[in-house]
Homo-oligomer: A and B are copies of this chain.
Amino acid sequence: MESRSSKFPQVIIIGGGFGGIQIAKKLKDKEVNVLMLDKHNYHTFQPLLYQVATGGLEPDSIAFPIRKIFQKQANFKFRVANVTQINTESSSVTTSIGDFHYDYLVIATGSETNFFGQKEIEHFSMPMKSVPEALNLRSLLLQNFEEAVIEKNAQAKQAFLNFVIVGAGPTGVETAGALAELRNHVLPSDYDEIDFSKMKIFLVEGANRVLPPFSEQASYKAQQFLEEMGVTVLTNTMVDQYNGEQISFKNGDVIPTKSVIWSAGVKGAIIPGLEHAQIVRGGRIKTTDYNLIEGYNNIFAIGDISYMETEKFPHGHPGVAQVAIQQGQQLAANLIRIINKETPKPFDYFDKGSMATIGRNKAVVDLKFWKFQGFFAWITWMFIHLLFLVGFRNKLVTMMNWIVNYFSQDRGTRLIIRRFNRKTMKEDIAID
């Protein structure tokens, strides 16, 4: 086990997402040693993954090497490691590259796709929570058209041209919109042998409206935008089964499709070892109002993985980047207070609002006292996303791509670098 490198307490942060990055940054120049562990060597800007999947952006534009973020932070160390076990007795974590001791442990592992125990759906449908998953989806989409071109049987051909997105949260809505733009503006000139009036995009939602967490006004407008763009929106519709050939719904309807994109829910990415911790609905870990995991005195959880009940949020906080960011910042300050034997301050979430883009000049923005949709909302969405994107080069390249895509009505990145394998449902066939 790696021994402690100085007299300062060792803070281990598991996960380099929005929350993990923030707390590590705020601990700069403080009298602690920070060790971040992540299975990736990069931070992923998840809100733009759908643009990687639909060929609008390169992964390198929305992900950023974690080591680079902390180049100038002397008390920060990073390891690419998969954490497999938390050992609360010995205050250590077991990982793919060995054990590490902690004085304070921050669990910022975020969330993973929730298939609600439906193994067949889990195998055959496409999640979109990571860069590799987005690239898997990109290859699947492009290969569908290559296979549709050579498919003689009309029924089989249609299955390649039907796209079903399950879950109409921001990710589902934005993906449906991006697919519609591919069909309306990009793909027809690539595949003159395909009749794109036959390409169907279905957005399926169990609730009675798209973007359930948004305002009614935003939901209404978003659905209007989607239908203008030719997306079939199916609300109050629950998925029954999907076998890789056809998806069936609880209402008995069936759609033949080779592509089901699953954005219907998430669950906390739990690491074994927290016996005393209280795991609540959605696999989240119950914490105090300063992110301490109840039952422990030096283990904390922030962001999607944490479940914190407050007066304002009696059923926990939403699983969005802003909560993770603010909890990360707050916990950094509280850790220093705790180390200095001071009383930690309770977390108070400031909701900056939410937004989703449907397509060119089409977005919805919900602010506390102002809700607006359309072109200005779309500009706002782009501005905010560029603002939060890590790294000057990423901001620049992404903006360039967006400008070119806007005027050319094109999506530049349509390479099948690794072939999608319909058996493993992963992009794992190397083509040298």
Binding site for B on A (CB under 8 A): 39-42, 58-61, 63, 65, 67-68, 71-72, 77, 79-80, 97-98, 127, 129-133, 135, 142, 146, 149-150, 189-191, 193, 391-394, 396-397, 400-401, 404, 408, 410, 412-418, 426-428, 430-432
Contacts and interface: CB of A to CB of B under 8 A. Distances in A.
A40 B416 contact: yes
Residue of A60, A127, A394, A427 with most chain B CB atoms under a 10 A cut-off: A60
B397 A131 contact: no
Copies in the complex: 2
Given A40-B431, A130-B432, A414 B98 contact: no
Contacts of A127: 432
B404 A392 contact: yes
The 5 closest A-B pairs by CB, nearest first: A60-B413, A58-B58, A67-B190, A393-B412, A71-B189
A131 B431 CA distance: 9
A34 to B, nearest CB: 14
Nearest to A112: B432
Contact of A397 (B97, B142, B397): B397
B190 A132 contact: no
Nearest to A146: B80
Given A97-B150, A150-B79, A426 B430 contact: yes
A41 B130 contact: no
Contacts of A418: 132
A146 B80 CA distance: 7
Contact of A432 (B72, B132, B149, B431): B132
Contact of A416 (B80, B191, B401): B80
Contacts of A391: 412
Nearest to A43: B415
Contact of A190 (B71, B130, B430): B71
25 contacts: A40-B415, A40-B431, A41-B142, A42-B415, A58-B61, A59-B417, A67-B191, A68-B414, A71-B190, A79-B146, A79-B150, A80-B146, A98-B150, A127-B432, A132-B417, A132-B430, A393-B401, A393-B404, A393-B408, A393-B410, A393-B412, A394-B412, A397-B397, A397-B412, A428-B428
A427 B418 CA distance: 10
A431 B59 CA distance: 14
Given A41-B416, A42-B415, A401-B393, A428 B430 contact: yes
A129 B432 CA distance: 8
Given A71-B189, A393-B401, A65 B428 contact: no
A259 B80 CA distance: 20
A431 B401 contact: no
A16 to B, nearest CB: 12
A232 to B, nearest CB: 27
